Structure 1
Amino acid sequence: MWQRRALADIPGVPWRNGDGYTKVIAEGQTEAGFQWRLSVADILKDGSFSIFRGWRRFFALLGQGSLTLSEKNGNWSHTVSGSGRPFQFSGEDVVHSSDVHVSLQALNLMVRNNVMWKQSVEFLLKEAAFTVEEISDGQIFLIPSTGTWNLHEGKSKVRIMPGEIWSSSAQTFSQTLLTQEMPESSLFFVKI
């Protein structure tokens, strides 16, 4: 069974560096502590990212717009476009965002580099109809980026739109078909 949350209903928490706020969608914890976090942050201007030693970061933009991420020592630079493929980098990298010309929403997945936690991670951009097969463990998140989608489960059909977060755990999951109402619709699929 899928659960819906409105992004607007999730409270913001301050960034580690104090330069903004993020909305935590979900976090995963084991006996060893937090292992992952999925969140959406508002990016209003150029700025530095908080450092998370021992973590991997997956970063994408919801909606339209773009920005450039650059590692401090010049080891890499990457332009991320709205509804584009996620970009992955180390949480230890000192990263600065630039070329922010409009307010942007960033979708972030952070996963701890931990030999004790071997959960597989998927963070994919979907731009065409797809089926979500049954999973044995973990959680699935659907985050519409542009346009409206239809979630078909059994005989029921529900519209899902940007600004909504849909989730399901392995214990409550059944096969689901996702279709676009418009060809240009895009959606992020996250499996943890």
Structure 2
Amino acid sequence: MQRFRLADLAPAPWRNGGGVTREIARGALDGATDWDWRLSVARIAHDGPFSTFSGVDRVATLVDGAVRLESATQTQAWTTPGEAHGFAGETAFTARLDGGGARFFNVMVRRGRLVATVVAHRTSGVLAPAQDVQHGLLVLHGRFAVETPAGTERLEAEDGLLWAGARPALRATLDTPTGCLVEVRLSAPAQTDGAA
């Protein structure tokens, strides 16, 4: 288990000047030379083109602000922290902000290699054990106490945890009147039977 805090992660400016990204972690499967999964938080500073990633599936969860992503064929809107939408990384979106800036918690996986599941928890409860490749937790707002086999981790807003491999059941207790804890699970794609 690894603990992280967004404020401790170095910001990397976008090439187009439209925002900055703080990378949380990335990883590769089976000795691949490029990443198969990547977790980050990106701040969108103004309207403009949204980055594309060929062969990548993305899930973007709103941390704060409000934003729409518009393409030639679709529009997706985020208005509430913890709201998540998935989309293909190849889609050429333009970001449209509603007022000031906005931040996304980005989960990206190489298509055909991994599948991402993202769930927002707004109350206390038990996170079921999971046999996945990678796991992550990030508190968007509020404060949570997360009971792990190694002890209790008290997570403030923008604190998080990472696990590699199987993860035991966890109890997450909300310590503030409101809060949002985002759970990420990265798993292998379901196998299909190709027999006729």
TM-score (norm 2): 0.83
Q: Conserved in 2, the CA contact under 8 Å of 1:38 and 1:109?
A: yes
In the alignment, which residue of structure 1 is the partner of 2:10?
A: 11
Q: Unmatched 5+ residue regions in structure 1? A: none
> Using the alignment, how far apart are the partners of 1:174 and 1:99 within structure 2?
39
Deviation per residue, 1:126-175 (Å, 9 max, x gap): 1122323333342211111111111123594332111212112236x433
Instruction: Give the 3-state SS of the residue equivalent to 2:28 in structure 1.
Output: strand
Instruction: Give the 3-state SS of the residue equivalent to 2:7 in structure 1.
Output: helix
**2:59 aligned partner, one-letter code:** F
Deviation per residue, 1:2-37 (Å, 9 max, x gap): 421111111122335443321111112123432111
**Cα drift, residue 42 of structure 1:** 1.2
> Using the alignment, how far apart are the partners of 2:53 and 2:150 within structure 1?
44
CA RMSD of aligned residues (A): 2.1
> Using the alignment, how far apart are the partners of 2:98 and 2:51 within structure 1?
17
Please list every run of at least 4 consecutive aligned residues from structure 1 whose deviation after the TM superposition is greater than 4 angstroms: none
Over the matched positions of the two proteins, sequence identity in percent amounts to: 27
In the alignment, which residue of structure 2 is the partner of 1:51?
A: 52
Q: Unmatched 5+ residue regions in structure 2? A: 187-196
In the alignment, which residue of structure 2 is the partner of 1:176?
A: 170
> Using the alignment, how far apart are the partners of 2:54 and 2:168 within structure 1?
36
Q: Conserved in 2, the CA contact under 8 Å of 1:83 and 1:125?
A: no
> Using the alignment, how far apart are the partners of 2:94 and 2:50 within structure 1?
6
> Using the alignment, how far apart are the partners of 1:44 and 1:133 within structure 2?
36
Instruction: Give the 3-state SS of the residue equivalent to 1:34 in structure 2.
Output: coil
Q: Conserved in 2, the CA contact under 8 Å of 1:6 and 1:164?
A: yes
In the alignment, which residue of structure 2 is the partner of 1:62?
A: 63
**1:113 aligned partner, one-letter code:** R
**Cα drift, residue 45 of structure 1:** 1.4
> Using the alignment, how far apart are the partners of 2:150 and 2:142 within structure 1?
23
Instruction: Give the 3-state SS of the residue equivalent to 2:43 in structure 1.
Output: strand
